[in-house]
């Protein structure tokens, strides 16, 4: 009952007019930033910190503003995924796979509707988990050591085959290319530069935002340039979001599964929202199996990753608050904000500053509602954007991508690299090599390597540590089951076709 009292107190704080206003502003700005290619939750939150200082916001107000921006970005990222086939940020990458085909079929409004509801549920599940089970989940998260993390990444890459329904060889080629690109930069363990060719711009590795924007946004423009008259392009019609809300009902089991998977991935520091949405999509695809038309505009292919990435975003707050460990770039910045407000997240936070924690939970709930209410009517606005002629829309996308990437480091080097990735993405698409695994390899490769090396340091070079715990064995068995099931399934299907 103590919890309820705290929560009521939290809501009282969060519902004060000023805080409600901040939540609203945060949601709008967050959605906007999330939708712009190249700008994601990390940028959004980082941009808001000095702003909140400048307006002299109290700690609670600042936090409410920032988490609204955070959740808003997770909502917004999907918009350009669905409408333009260009993810606004990396957790929204998986949403392109079915969201854009839906838009091509004139069901973009439905896709936006499904994803808004899925995002809402995902974020809601995560908030509930944060409120009720944070201490328990922390106990679960710390059971994940380097070997277990490594197993988790292996699982992610084992499911990568058939990510887009194309050739298995090409999917895995793309994943290993991404992993190799991910090893560029100064090796944090030994301090040795790898594949940097003396360029200090590469010391910190290849920025996956630069790669993501290049591979998706720039390559999309190059595809567009093949046929500027648009003779072979279907005209996009978004339609209404209402069927989306209805089909979200049909996707309810999908959304539930996606939320859970995403939440678990979020609770594990270092795994993050991108892994959450990826696993939610891939596992749902396996789960649905032959009934699904994944990759060709299945609403479940939109619902799963959106529930997953929003649940992961909420889940990531748990290790940040109760262990002081940021699980992602965004939570790292939220952590920095808390520290500068003299709030030290850690094992004692929930006991020492319950009003802060419960105010945050209330803010998350309110932000989530605001976003849902905001997002469903927004669909018609995006429909208008789409009616802009391509010769205006595409240069706009390119310019937003350029400015977004430039603002990361103010470096022209990043822009050249983005162009390089644009050409790479274009060629890969022509070769029918999927680009999603490249980004995933780049994104997860570093952590995968570190955890492998940590595990080996712990064991003193004994490889057996990798499968010495129940958790990691369980994960490997799961991965093997998925692969075998996939092979058997495709064998049966092919057999029938012949």
Partner 1 sequence: MSDASQDNAGRVPGVIGDRIAGALLLALAVGAWWLSHDLESGFMQPIGPGEYPRLISLPLAALSLLLILKPGFNQRWPGRAALVRQAQTLLVLACYAGLVKPLGFLPASLAAVILLIRLFGAAWKSALISGVVLTLALYVLFEFVLGMPLPNIPGLDW
Partner 2 sequence: MKSVIKNLSGVAATALLGAGLAVSTPSQALPISECIAPADPGGGWDFTCRSVGKLLLDLELVDSPVQVTNMPGGVGAVAFANVESNRADDSDLIVATSTVGVTQIAQGRYPGGADTMRWLGMLGTDVGVILVDDDSEYESLEQLLETVVEDPGALAVAGSSGAGGWDHIRALMLAKEAGMPDDQIGSLRWVQFDGGGPAVTQMMGGHVDVVSTDLGEIAGFIESGDVRVLAVLSEDPLPEPFAELPTAASQGYDVAGYNWRGFYTGGEVSDADYAAMVEDLQTLYDSDEWKEVAQQNGLVPLWRGGEEFDAFVRQSIDEVETISREIGVIQ
449 is a site residue for partner 1 (CB under 8 A): yes
Verify binding: residue 205, partner 2, rule CB under 8 A: yes
d(CA 255, CA 240): 21
Among partner 1, partner 2, none, what does residue 485 contact (CB within 5–8 Å per kind)? none
Q: Is 423 exposed, middle or buried (0-12, 13-18, 19+ CB in 10 A)?
A: middle
Q: From the list 177, 217, 268, 312, which residue makes contact with partner 1 (rule: CB under 8 A)? A: 177
Examine residue 389 and tell whether it contacts partner 2 (CB under 8 A): no
272: CB partners within 8 A, 6+ apart? 91, 265, 266, 312, 316, 327, 328
CA-to-CA distance for 90 and 274, rounded, in angstroms? 6
Number of residues that bind partner 2 (CB under 8 A): 63
User: Which CB atom, from 40 or from 299, has the smaller least distance to partner 2?
Assistant: 40
Q: How far apart are CA 319 and CA 334, in angstroms?
A: 12
Which residues inside 212-231 make contact with partner 1, applying CB under 8 A? 218, 221-222, 224-229
Q: What is the CA radius of gyration of the chain?
A: 22
- Binding of partner 2 at residue 258 (CB under 8 A)? no
Q: Which is nearer to partner 1, 17 or 191 (CB)?
A: 191
Query: Which residues on adjacent β-strands are paired with residue 193?
Result: 186
Q: Which two tokens stand for residue 205?
A: 């590795």
What's the closest the beta carbon of residue 190 comes to partner 2, in angstroms? 6
390-409 and 41-54 helices, crossing angle to 10°: 70
Residues in 289-308 that interact with partner 1 by CB under 8 A: 293, 295-296
Q: In whole angstroms, give the CA distance from residue 274 to residue 40.
A: 12
Least distance from C-beta 160 to partner 2, angstroms? Answer: 21
Indicate which single residue of 111, 311, 333, 366 sits in contact with partner 2 (rule: CB under 8 A): 333
Nearer to partner 2, 222 or 336 (CB): 336
Dihedral of the alpha carbons of 127, 154, 156, 405, in degrees to the nearest 10: 90
- Of 43, 80, 309, 472, the one binding partner 2 (CB under 8 A) is 43
For residue 266 the two structure tokens come to 């979020």
Residues that bind partner 2 (CB under 8 A): 40, 42-43, 46-51, 53-54, 141-147, 185-186, 188-191, 193, 200, 203-205, 207-209, 269, 272, 319, 323-326, 328-329, 332-333, 335-336, 339-340, 342, 344-348, 407-410, 446, 450, 454, 457-458, 460
């Amino acid at each position: 009952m103590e919890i309820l009292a705290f929560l009521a107190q939290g809501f009282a704080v969060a519902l004060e007019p000023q805080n409600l206003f901040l939540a609203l502003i945060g949601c709008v700005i967050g959605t906007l930033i999330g939708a712009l290619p190249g700008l994601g939750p990390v940028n959004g939150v980082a941009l808001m910190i000095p702003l909140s200082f400048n307006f002299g916001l109290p700690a609670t107000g600042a936090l409410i503003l920032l988490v609204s921006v955070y959740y808003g970005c997770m909502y917004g990222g999907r918009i350009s995924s669905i409408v333009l086939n260009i993810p606004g940020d990396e957790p929204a990458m998986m949403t392109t796979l079915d969201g854009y085909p839906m838009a091509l079929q004139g069901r973009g409004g439905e896709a936006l509707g499904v994803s808004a509801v899925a995002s809402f549920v995902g974020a809601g599940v995560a908030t509930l988990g944060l409120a009720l089970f944070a201490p328990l989940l922390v106990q679960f998260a710390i059971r994940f050591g380097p070997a277990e993390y490594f197993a988790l990444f292996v699982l992610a890459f084992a499911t990568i085959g058939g990510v887009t329904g194309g050739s298995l060889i090409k999917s895995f080629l793309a994943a290993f290319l991404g992993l190799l690109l991910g090893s560029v930069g100064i090796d944090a363990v030994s301090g040795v530069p790898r594949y940097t060719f003396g360029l200090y711009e590469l010391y910190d590795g290849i920025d996956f935002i630069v790669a993501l924007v290049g591979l998706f946004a720039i390559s999309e423009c190059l595809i567009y340039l093949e046929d500027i008259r648009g003779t072979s392009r279907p005209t996009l019609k978004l339609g209404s979001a209402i069927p989306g809300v209805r089909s979200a009902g049909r996707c309810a089991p999908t959304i539930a599964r996606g939320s859970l998977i995403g939440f678990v991935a979020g609770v594990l520091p270092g795994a993050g929202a991108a892994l959450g949405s990826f696993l939610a999509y891939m596992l749902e695809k396996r789960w649905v199996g032959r009934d699904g038309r994944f990759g060709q505009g299945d609403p479940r292919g939109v619902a799963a990753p959106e529930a997953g990435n929003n649940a992961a975003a909420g889940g990531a707050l748990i290790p940040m608050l109760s262990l002081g460990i940021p699980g992602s770039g965004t939570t790292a910045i939220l952590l920095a904000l808390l520290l500068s407000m003299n709030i030290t997240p850690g094992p004692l936070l929930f006991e020492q500053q319950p009003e802060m924690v419960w105010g945050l939970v209330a803010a998350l709930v309110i932000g989530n509602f605001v976003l849902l209410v905001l997002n469903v009517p927004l669909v018609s606005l995006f429909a208008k954007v789409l009616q802009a002629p391509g010769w205006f829309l595409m240069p706009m996308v390119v310019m937003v991508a350029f400015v977004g990437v430039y603002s990361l480091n103010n470096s022209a080097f990043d822009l050249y690299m983005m162009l390089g990735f644009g050409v790479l993405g274009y060629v890969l698409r022509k070769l029918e090599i999927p680009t999603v695994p490249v980004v995933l390899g780049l994104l997860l490769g570093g952590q995968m390597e570190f955890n492998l090396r940590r595990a080996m340091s712990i064991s003193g070079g004994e490889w057996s540590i990798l499968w010495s715990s129940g958790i990691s064995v369980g994960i490997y068995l799961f991965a093997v089951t998925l692969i075998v099931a996939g092979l058997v399934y495709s064998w049966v299907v092919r057999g029938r076709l012949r």
